[in-house]
Chain A
């Protein structure tokens, strides 16, 4: 029996080494070597605990469950990314939006007014202005607009634009094909630039909604290391 279980644990360790080796092929944009070491250490600990506490079943099972829970929580970071990519939640699958943009039919029977608004979080010093304060569009029509951004300070800064749409029901019909809000944006001292935004409104937008406001809040994430690498969107294929 002991032999059987040692072999089983050994297999678990092997599997984890293999998965660690295979990880780089899934572009999860996480620190792969870190995850590899973590998986190795966790499975080694599991294996050792199993052998060491073979005699004390209850203690062993409790400690193994504890390790298992910890490992699960730990693995949630990459697992989350995988889950969202597979289900398309959080807008992670741009491919679908880009594809839909090409096939969607333009509804010329009604017009929607889209207003663009800007907010700054806390002391965000950048200047940020929409190219158009508002645009009138047909649902289904692919629209391109831009925002002018300027960093008036003497240091390089990184910003994250967070969109919010009102009325809230409209937000799931507002499809961004390309948006500067997908990634954090870096601007050097006194640098200015234009950020592009490409979107269309799904014709399934309820008929009552004739105007929506897209507001971006600009956050200063220069000092936030974790957010620097926060790139939730798969890069759009060049069309």
Chain B
């Protein structure tokens, strides 16, 4: 596939991240057009082979001030929406559901803290596919045995930690990437707008199989989620 851009994602925050990304990108393109345009103009029209004779100017305090001040103001203009969004992303209050995510070498463990449900989530791609003995499936390296099932339209608080080394929990479509650090907990939040399956990967080198510990989030409406949760709890009590 020739995907060239970031996903807009399925949360309000991921959409805002995308907008910020595109805004900065276009500002950079504009600056690039001006700078490279000037350069290419010089390359074409100020060549010696074209008969150009060198001018003698080599300094101008006025110009230096101008092209320091203008970029500075452009930066302030960029910083404003970025800071605004960042402040929003740090606000983890009033969540409806808390999930503890623990990174292990090399799989993820999820605990629904308020509900006493927990399970491991490991890569489910068959080894034969990895060593090229079998045709690779559609979700090669991004499929797991147990999905992290979550409700839509609810504020979900994710607490990350790790069992051994630093891992990082990243699902692009949810706009979340948070390091999982052994001995410490980190916090992030999301409100998923649409049901669906969203895939991510570990984003911090954690050893040999760092590339083989994906994340699969399955978001569903509240009723289905409650039903799923009930079956998980039954399974849990049966195991005890």
Q: Does A208 contact B (CB under 8 A)?
A: yes
- Binary contact track B91-109/A, C-beta < 8 Å → 1, others 0: 1111100101010000000
CA gap between A167 and B159 in the complex, in Å: 10
Decide yes or no: A117 and B159 within 8 Å by CB, A166-B187, A208-B93, A210-B93 being known contacts: yes
* Majority secondary structure, B binding face: loop
Given the contacts A117-B113, A121-B183, A210-B94, A166 and B159 also touching, CB distance less than 8 Å: yes
Look across to chain A and name the residue whose beta carbon is closest to the beta carbon of B94.
A210
> Do the beta carbons of A117 and B183 come within 8 Å of each other?
no
- Tell me, rounded to whole Å, the shortest Cβ–Cβ distance linking A133 to chain B: 8
Binds B, one of A83-91, A101-109, A151-159, A212-220: A212-220
List B181-203 residues whose CB lies under 8 Å from chain A: 182-187
B167 to chain A, nearest CB (A): 13
| Neighbouring B residues of A209 by C-beta, 8 Å | 93
A33 at interface (Cβ–Cβ under 8 A)?
no
The residue in chain B whose Cβ has the minimal distance to the Cβ of A218 is B183
Taking CB as reference atom, which chain A residue is nearest B160? Answer: A166
Are the CB atoms of A120 and B163 closer together than 8 Å?
yes
Residues of chain A at interface, number, CB under 8 A:
21
Interface pair B187/A119, CB less than 8 Å apart: no
Within 8 A of A (CB), among B106-128: 113-114
- Asked if A121 and B159 make an inter-chain contact with CB atoms under 8 angstroms apart, the answer reads no
Is there contact, CB below 8 Å, between B163 and A117?
no
Q: Is the CB of B185 within 8 A of A213?
A: yes
- From A122, A167, A168, A215, B161 is in contact (CB under 8 Å) with A215
Q: How many B residues have CB within 8 A of the partner chain? A: 20
A145 within 8 Å of B by Cβ? no
One of B95, B98, B114, B182 near A217 (C-beta < 8 A) = B182
Cα-based distance from A90 to B95 in the complex (angstroms): 31
Q: Is A162 an interface residue when CB atoms closer than 8 A count as contact? A: yes
Q: Closest Cβ of chain B: how far from A167's Cβ, in Å? A: 6
Q: How far is the CA of A120 from the CA of B98 in the complex (A)?
A: 19
Known interface pairs A117-B113, A117-B159, A210-B94; A164-B185 also in contact (CB < 8 Å): yes
Chain A residues with CB under 8 A of B185: 117, 119, 164-166, 213, 215
In the complex, the answer to whether A121 meets B182 with C-beta atoms within 8 Å is yes
Q: How far is the CA of A162 from the CA of B187 in the complex (A)?
A: 17
- For the complex, is B164 an interface residue (Cβ under 8 Å from A)? yes
Most buried by B among A117, A119, A210, A215: A119
B159: contacting residue among A120, A162, A213, A217, CB under 8 A:
A213
B-contacting residues of A (Cβ < 8 Å)?
115, 117, 119-122, 133, 162, 164-168, 208-211, 213, 215, 217, 219
| Supplied contacts A122-B164, A164-B185, A167-B92, 18 more A-B pairs, CB within 8 Å | A119-B161, A119-B185, A121-B163, A121-B183, A133-B114, A164-B161, A164-B183, A164-B184, A165-B185, A166-B92, A166-B186, A166-B187, A208-B93, A211-B93, A211-B95, A213-B98, A213-B185, A217-B182
Cβ contacts A to B, 8 pairs, < 8 Å: A117-B185, A121-B163, A122-B164, A133-B113, A166-B159, A210-B93, A215-B159, A215-B185
